[in-house]
A and B are shown apart, each in its own frame.
Chain A
Amino acid sequence: MSEFLANIQLGLSTALSAEALLFCFLGVTVGTVVGVLPGIGALAAISLALPLTYYLDPTTALIMLAGIFYGAQYGGSTASILLNLPGTATSAITCLDGYPLAQQGKAPLALFVTAINSFVGSSFAIVLVMGFAPLIAGFALKFSSTEYFSVMLLGLVAASTLSVGSPFKALAMVVFGIVLGQVGTDVNTGMFRFNFGILELADGFGLVAVAMGLFGVAEIMANVGQASGAPMGVKGMRFKDMIPSRSEWKEIWKPTLRGSVIGSFVGALPGTGPGIASLMAYAAEKRLSRDPSQFGKGSLAGLSAPEAANNASVQAAFIPTLSLGIPGDAVVAVLMGAMILHGITPGPNLINDQPAMFWGLIMSFWIGNLMLLFLNIPLIGLWVRLLSIPYRLLYPAIILFICIGVYSADNNVFDIYVVLAFGLIGYAMRKFSYPATPVLLGFILGPLLEEHFRRAMLLSHGDLTIFLQRPISLVFLLISLMFLGSVFMPGLRSKLVSRVRRNAPSDDAD
């Protein structure tokens, strides 16, 4: 225990230095801004900022880059709530319930709640990083492709019910997403699939381009030609508009905690990320809810769980990174690159070899998250004011930001065509009321399912029973089965009931 306290002290002495505080603040501010701006996400921002950190002390550089990463998760929900445009690809799910809340005039409340969710989710995961990083990382190593497949299957099953409206349209859109995910390089053979000879498609469509097209560009196109006014009339905002009532707090806290747990679990598994975390958290919440019909209409639970989950996932992604040297997701992989540039090779010895850096970084997470909380709450008033900007100024600016965001990922103009094409597709989908979220779901989970299924088959030499032989995999398959059961059972029951009822009157008639 005293060693633990000494470590915390060591971390604080690093993270509280003037330089570290300054760069932490810089990082979280930049993170908030890129999070708020649609299209420019953490990955693009960190890739752009990385070369600038070559001249900084490694710990300071990491504190700043990590700040951009988790700061973006705070900002990401702002545009989702206010404009129905995801600020980052991973906050697309926040549109589902956040935007309806804003339409009901509860934008300040929704923004305040997401700031709290984000802080709770982050804090939960930071505690895990501090106390149990090596333990959790060891558990994550037990996950082979077999287990990954079963987890992803659970995600797909759980999330397949997450949209409102026709289940057949939703299913069709999941399949459409999976088909989109087939474009790219076949992992097992290295063959280019469905790229039509276009080298830029050899890595498939980018998640940012797909999400920003379907959600962002499509939303803007749908609003073009409407009255030339501003998105929503905003009157003077009072502080108490932000604060949830007692009953609203009650509605929030459980989903926030569940979202934090799911997010931490998903984040600690290398190769996943905040997108999957928020999808799964949303799906779980909808399943557990007593009144799932509220989801998609401005449910605070549907807002809270994914927001807590994406922040928890981002912080938990540091668990495998710092204790094993294996990046939790694509953005952390770039952070790891930054460490190597600075002469620190992340590996299993990092915590012991670089205690000042490890604990300094962890303590900076606390400081950064506190800064974000205090940065974001006063900013709510400012963001809400964004709604009074007229469409004719707001939308061209957003389109520009989206183009810059997708371009800067790989400095490739082709990606701009991709995002615009997905904008057209998304617009058509709206016109015929096909939901976009299931597309994203199929697009994210489909390729992972395939990759892990095929690798599991490769390693087991084609033995399908491998999924049942491994206990962790078996558990996840059983949970998936339970989910399926809970989806069909009520339907089945009501069908039976209605059949009995239909039979009953006919009996009477007889």
Chain B
Amino acid sequence: MKTIFSKGLVSAGLALAIGAASMFASPANAVAADSYPDKPITIVVPFPPGGSTDLLARKIGEALSSSLGQPVVVENRGGAGGTVGANYVAKSDPDGYTLLMGVTGSNAISAALRDDLPYSPVTDFDPVSIVISSPLVLVVREDSDFKSVQDVIAYAKANPEYFTHGTPGVGTSMHMTGELFGLESGTKLLHVPYKGSAAALQDLLGGQINAMFGDILVTSEYVKSGDLRPLAVTGTKEHFLLKGVPTIAEAGIDGFAAFSWQGVFAPAGTPTAVLDKLYTAVSAALETDALKEVFAQRGFLVEGMNPADSKAFIASEVDKWTKVVEAAGLKK
């Protein structure tokens, strides 16, 4: 409790300092920020209700509404892998009243993969905070001959395009992680896209495909039941839901790291003071028990990056996935 309190104080102090600084820089913003928020805030979730992004947005929304003193409404605008909702927020007024719960696909990979997006994930948003990250896990069936990452690499080297991995679709973080795996191990896996991760999981359980770079929480249930075997996680360290499972880097591909992440975004041009006020509220929310429970249950790793770090992070992600897209020849 004490740490929460002191951390909250520090970030509040920080926000005050930044707020004061921006007051000198731009008085108009300061006025807006002083009264902000004086009406309800909408967080757009670019997916249908019931997913992990929806859950996170609603929990953060609850915490924000009690700390900011205004209702926070979560609005689900699904479609096209999150890009419909992201586009909507990109075109909204940059006043801090319309925010996006953006993800790897909508706010980084799509920039690398598509020329026909009506928005730019880099220039059309001011990130408030990259809130969480979540590694994936390379899983095979329990009765599979693949016992390790090395087995997979050896097989895939000998049989290019015969090691099959299923994903929820082209341009998802599961797909990109598979491509990155191929590039960094010098192999070529066969990408088998599905409409959604459940269909891919169904074929993995049925033995129609070899592997999946799957969601930690969902696959850990099948690991517990003895249906699937985890070979490695894609993060930089052991994951608390899959104790004893090595990282891909430890298992033989040096420096390999791939995450999916989620964050709160505002349209580009949002006053800095508003962004900072939001960031302060978000980072305080991350310390609440309600959110900690979600993180533990859902297998999320807390990031809580500040706006500047988040902006730099997005740029680095777009850069990283653009290289993968180009090297793998996926550009559409």
Contact = CB atoms under 8 A, between A and B. Distances in A.
Contacts of B202: 141, 270-271, 320, 324, 326
B65 interface: no
Interface in B127-148: none
B75 A349 contact: no
B251 interface: no
B80 A202 contact: yes
A190 interface: yes
Given A190-B332, A324-B202, A327-B198, A343 B79 contact: no
B194 A187 contact: yes
A157 to B, nearest CB: 24
Interface stretch (B2-10, B47-55, B242-250, B301-309): B47-55
B298 to A, nearest CB: 8
Nearest to B119: A199
Interface stretch (B94-102, B219-227, B261-269, B280-288): B219-227
Interface residues of A, number: 50
A340 B113 CA distance: 30
A144 interface: yes
A197 B332 CA distance: 14
Interface stretch (A417-425, A451-459, A477-485): A451-459
B58 A334 contact: no
Contact of A202 (B77, B84, B113, B227): B84
Contacts of B227: 348
Contacts of A461: 161-162
Contacts of B192: 455, 458-459
A402 B315 CA distance: 43
B186 interface: no
Interface stretch (A31-39, A46-54, A228-236, A486-494): A46-54
Nearest to B195: A187
A411 interface: yes
A18 interface: no
A172 B49 CA distance: 37
Contact of B170 (A189, A336, A349): A189
B208 A144 contact: yes
A51 B49 contact: yes
A199 B221 contact: no
A246 to B, nearest CB: 46
A444 to B, nearest CB: 14
A142 B206 contact: yes
B116 interface: yes
A141 B55 contact: no
Contact of B225 (A191, A192, A348): A348
Nearest to B88: A412
B71 interface: no
A200 interface: yes
Contacts of B49: 47, 50-51, 334, 337
Nearest to A206: B79
Given A270-B199, A341-B50, A410 B225 contact: no
A224 B90 CA distance: 41
Given A142-B206, A187-B195, A411-B76, A347 B50 contact: no
Interface of B: 48-52, 54-55, 58, 74-81, 83-84, 87, 113, 116-118, 161-162, 164, 169-171, 190, 192-196, 198-199, 201-203, 205-206, 208-209, 217-218, 220-222, 224-225, 227, 297-298, 330, 332
Please give me the 10 A-B residue pairs with the lowest Cβ-Cβ distance, nearest first. Answer: A337-B50, A190-B170, A347-B221, A202-B80, A141-B206, A144-B208, A348-B225, A50-B49, A334-B50, A326-B202
Interface of A: 47, 50-51, 54, 141-145, 185, 187-192, 197, 199-200, 202-203, 270-271, 320, 324-327, 333-338, 340-341, 343, 345-349, 410-412, 451, 455, 458-459, 461
20 contacts: A143-B206, A185-B170, A190-B193, A191-B332, A199-B87, A199-B117, A202-B81, A203-B80, A333-B196, A340-B50, A340-B52, A340-B55, A343-B297, A347-B218, A410-B77, A411-B76, A411-B77, A451-B195, A458-B190, A459-B209
Given A187-B169, A338-B50, A411-B75, 20 more contacts: A47-B50, A54-B58, A143-B206, A189-B332, A199-B118, A202-B80, A202-B83, A325-B201, A325-B218, A325-B221, A326-B205, A335-B50, A337-B48, A337-B54, A341-B55, A345-B218, A346-B221, A347-B218, A347-B225, A459-B164
